[in-house]
Copies of this chain bind each other. A is one copy, B any other.
Amino acid sequence: MLVAKESELRERYGVHWRLTGVATRRTGWLADPGGLHPLALLNGHWPAPPADAPRNVREWLERARADLLFEATSLNAQHGQPAIDHLRAALEHGAHAISANKGPIVHAYGELTALARARGKRFLHESTVMDGVPIFSLFSAGLPAADLRGISGVLNSTTNVVLTEIEKGRTLEEAVKHAQALGVAETDPSADLDGWDAAVKLAALVIVLMGVPLRLEHIRRTGIRELSVEKIRAARAAGMRYKLVCRAERRAGAEAPVHAIVEPELLPLSDPLANLEGTSSAIRFDLDVFSLSLVEHNPGIEATAYGLLADFLRAVHAENPAGR
């Protein structure tokens, strides 16, 4: 995405970039302040690690002279690590921290936003919910002084694909394999099937958009494993569909300020959520002034990459808006 948009970033936004570090579990901490070649890396041409290669995230950020970090490790719903450590290290190093990982929002949102503010840097996370669809930017720039009272949506692609495939006649196991082949399900699909992915997304939305520090254990969570194949197909035959739905609602005067649930719901086909196919997702925001839904139609992996790119522009362009 950086390469594809390189000339537009330069000509329209006055933004130049250089890739000075890449780290993965397999290849370790690769850094070169002179610049790495993204297309060569994508084609598998990795330079051999030098004898004095960085040994941890802090050494790596130093060596790379990083101005900005893209964090894209996979979700750990229980504690949000190692993503939180990476983002904290980036901000302490003096770099902007861009996360595609929603664990840090649920487990360290207050700390990371405060740290970013103290360092004059940005902690941005647009691609954590609905890929690159600008949910968080929509609220901060587009909906000032509006009161968010409720959120509902279908936010997990894997269960969406799996339920559709079961409707078509596949078993749960075959349907999961199909979702993995599409690249939407992880090798271990339990985070999706048991509703963890959906719950973490819902918590991230409540924490950032409602300003309520909701904890995962306060979300009533039911996955889709308990639904039998027969039940799913019978619903479809009767003109209804099961979807894994997330709901959060402000409750004035209640024990908890927000009531949050993730569970399979049986929806009539006239419900906009029922018509979601493939990797599509949808969310509805009930505000005091109106209700608004956003639907993302069958995104691919470039939608997530775009979310990271847009955060990059928001972070660095604000430093130098004259470039616009």
Query: Of B8, B134, B269, B300, which contacts A138 at CB under 8 A?
Result: B134
A4 to chain B, nearest CB (A): 9
What DSSP secondary structure best describes chain A's contact surface? mixed
Residues of B within 8 A of A133 (CB): 290, 292
Interfacial chain B residues near A48, Cβ < 8 Å:
none
Provide the residues of chain B in CB contact with A137, threshold 8 Å.
138, 141-142
User: Across the interface, which residues of B come within 8 angstroms of A289, CB to CB?
Assistant: 1, 132, 302-303, 305-306
**Among A85-93, A166-174, A307-315, the stretch in contact with B:** A307-315
Q: How far is the CA of A284 from the CA of B134 in the complex (A)?
A: 14
Q: What chain B residues lie within 8 Å of A142 (beta carbons)?
A: 126, 134, 137-138, 141-142, 310
CB-contacts of A277-324 with B (<8 A): 284, 289-300, 302-303, 305-306, 309-310, 313-314, 317
Chain B CB within 10 Å — which of A292, A303, A306 has the most?
A292
Question: Which A residues form the contact surface with B (CB < 8 A)?
Answer: 1, 5, 8-9, 12-13, 126, 131-134, 137-138, 140-146, 269-270, 272, 275, 284, 289-300, 302-303, 305-306, 309-310, 313-314, 317
A306 engages B146 (CB within 8 Å): yes
A291 to B272, CA, bound (A): 16
